[in-house]
Amino acid sequence: MEYDMRQIQRPFRMAKLNLVWTKAQQRLTEPKLISLYTELKIQDKEEIAWKQLSGQNKDKEGLKEAELRKKLIGIMSTYGLLEHFDETQDPEKYKDYKAFHGPVDNYKNKSLFKDKKLNRLWEKAEVAGFSPDELQALKEEFMHHQEKVDLYYELLDDVTKNQGKRDQHVNAVNEDEIEKFNEIGTAEDLADSRAQKHDEYYHAANDLREKHRAVRDSFDRLERITAKGPNSQDFVEPKVQGLWKVAVNSDFSPDELASLKVELLHLESRLLKLRHMNAEHAISLEKYKQSSKHLDKHEKISMMEDNIKKQSRKVEKLHEDLEKRIFKHSEL
């Protein structure tokens, strides 16, 4: 699905969170907006729940309110929005940001490259601290890599098609049915033809392997270049960046740290998937509100919400386990 998070207007029920969202839309990149959206979505639900508790006088000491305030400060600090925190505490400042669900259109895909893996690496390169000239030169190398990927898939498609045709010949021809192919020539001619096709396929398959190796080597090279950026980070997801920072400053052995990095990359992958699921859900929800096909849309959205809940539980469990292990070492 194509989407542009900057087109989503006031998606939260809490006005102060819509204020934060509006400020973020002006400053953050698309990947960061997707991450922030998920964080604020959770905050929104908790703030609404707190309002109900407060209305029933169940938070007399203000503990839950203080917890939510601290959490919001943490979120805004993570995304470089802390300077706007005071505005979120002043109803006069955020009164114009009440929840609004207007039409959302112009869903543009901001992806620069067709290859998803390459796009994720480019997101890291953009924030790695390269100068404009260095980034432009690196962009050209990324585009050259995309061309290699395109050529690889073209060759793969050709080999697959030829393999299908070759298999069709092999499967169709046997000793009992050889007379059906008299127009091709003698049995010996047919055997020679099949041998030639096999050789062609063999050479094409070898060429394909070489191309695949070249693509892999090219990507590894781009990864190494990106990692040399002044501000390069091993992770793009703020939550994972925080855990990794604690881990490298703890007493893990090099082998333990390497193993932990793999696990954190797995967590980041799941987190990013969850972020995108939430973004797609937000866009679908906006479209649903503008559509007359309520039943179909509702079923689709319900299914998306169920999938988000399942993914959220997996991510939370994985995050908790890693967090406990990392902080246990940091306290030793």
Q: Are residues 2 and 79 in the same domain?
A: yes
| C-alpha–C-alpha distance, residues 307 and 270, integer Å | 13
- Give a yes or no: residue 111 inside a domain: no
The band of 80, judged by pLDDT with boundaries at 50, 70 and 90, is confident
The band of 185, judged by pLDDT with boundaries at 50, 70 and 90, is very low
> Among 103, 137, 152, where does a domain finish?
103
| Residue 165 in this model has a pLDDT that exceeds 50 | no
> Among 181, 203, 227, where does a domain finish?
227
Average pLDDT along the chain? 75
Out of 36-50, 94-108, 120-134, 172-186, which region has the weakest mean confidence (pLDDT)?
Answer: 172-186
| Residue 184 in this model has a pLDDT that exceeds 50 | no
DSSP letter at 19 equals H
- Give a yes or no: residue 21 inside a domain: yes
- Number of compact structural domains in the chain: 3
What is the reported pTM?
Answer: 0.44
* Contact predicate 280/304, CB 8 Å: yes
The band of 328, judged by pLDDT with boundaries at 50, 70 and 90, is confident
Q: Are residues 215 and 316 in the same domain?
A: no
> Among 103, 135, 168, where does a domain finish?
103
Q: Are residues 8 and 34 in the same domain?
A: yes
Q: What is the pLDDT of residues 23-34, one digit of tens each?
A: 888 888 777 788
Distances (CA, A) of 193 to 140, 157, 179: 44, 22, 16
User: Which residue range is the domain that position 30 belongs to?
Assistant: 1-103
- Give a yes or no: residue 232 inside a domain: no
* Contact predicate 172/140, CB 8 Å: no
Mean pLDDT over 237-265 rounds to 84
Q: Are residues 262 and 194 in the same domain?
A: no
| C-alpha–C-alpha distance, residues 159 and 167, integer Å | 12
Q: Which comes out higher in pLDDT, residue 329 or 324?
A: 324
Q: What is the pLDDT of residues 265-283, one digit of tens each?
A: 889 888 888 888 888 888 7
Q: Are residues 124 and 223 in the same domain?
A: yes
| Residue 192 in this model has a pLDDT that exceeds 60 | no
Token pair for residue 217?
């080597």
Q: Are residues 253 and 195 in the same domain?
A: no
DSSP letters spanning 255-309: HHHHHHHHHHHHHHHHHHHHHHHHHHHHHHHHHHHH-S-HHHHHHHHHHHHHHHH
Q: What is the pLDDT of residues 86-122, one digit of tens each?
A: 777 766 665 555 554 443 333 333 457 778 888 888 8
- Give a yes or no: residue 48 inside a domain: yes
Residues 6+ apart with CB under 8 A from 81: 20, 23, 24, 27
Burial label, 206 (beta-carbon count in 10 A; 0-12, 13-18, 19+): exposed
Mean pLDDT over 179-184 rounds to 37
CATH number at residue 294: 1.20.81.10
- Give a yes or no: residue 34 inside a domain: yes
- Give a yes or no: residue 108 inside a domain: no
* Contact predicate 246/297, CB 8 Å: no
> Cα angle at 156 between 205 and 174, to 5 degrees?
60
Q: Are residues 206 and 307 in the same domain?
A: no
Q: Are residues 6 and 62 in the same domain?
A: yes
| Residue 160 in this model has a pLDDT that exceeds 70 | yes
Three-class DSSP category at 28? coil
Q: Are residues 151 and 51 in the same domain?
A: no
Q: Are residues 198 and 295 in the same domain?
A: no
| Residue 6 in this model has a pLDDT that exceeds 80 | no
Mean pLDDT over 312-323 rounds to 92
What are the φ and ψ backbone dihedral angles of 308, each rounded to 5 degrees? -65, -40
| Residue 22 in this model has a pLDDT that exceeds 80 | yes
Q: Using alpha carbons, select from 314, 311, 313, 292 the residue that is nearest to residue 303.
A: 311
Q: What is the pLDDT of residues 295-305, one digit of tens each?
A: 555 777 888 88
Token pair for residue 44?
């929104």
- Give a yes or no: residue 233 inside a domain: no
Q: Are residues 99 and 131 in the same domain?
A: no
| C-alpha–C-alpha distance, residues 231 and 59, integer Å | 43
The band of 217, judged by pLDDT with boundaries at 50, 70 and 90, is confident
| Residue 125 in this model has a pLDDT that exceeds 80 | yes
The band of 321, judged by pLDDT with boundaries at 50, 70 and 90, is very high
Q: Using alpha carbons, select from 145, 99, 93 the residue that is nearest to residue 119.
A: 145
- Give a yes or no: residue 84 inside a domain: yes
pLDDT of residue 34: 81
Q: Are residues 176 and 74 in the same domain?
A: no
Q: What is the pLDDT of residues 57-67, one digit of tens each?
A: 877 788 888 88
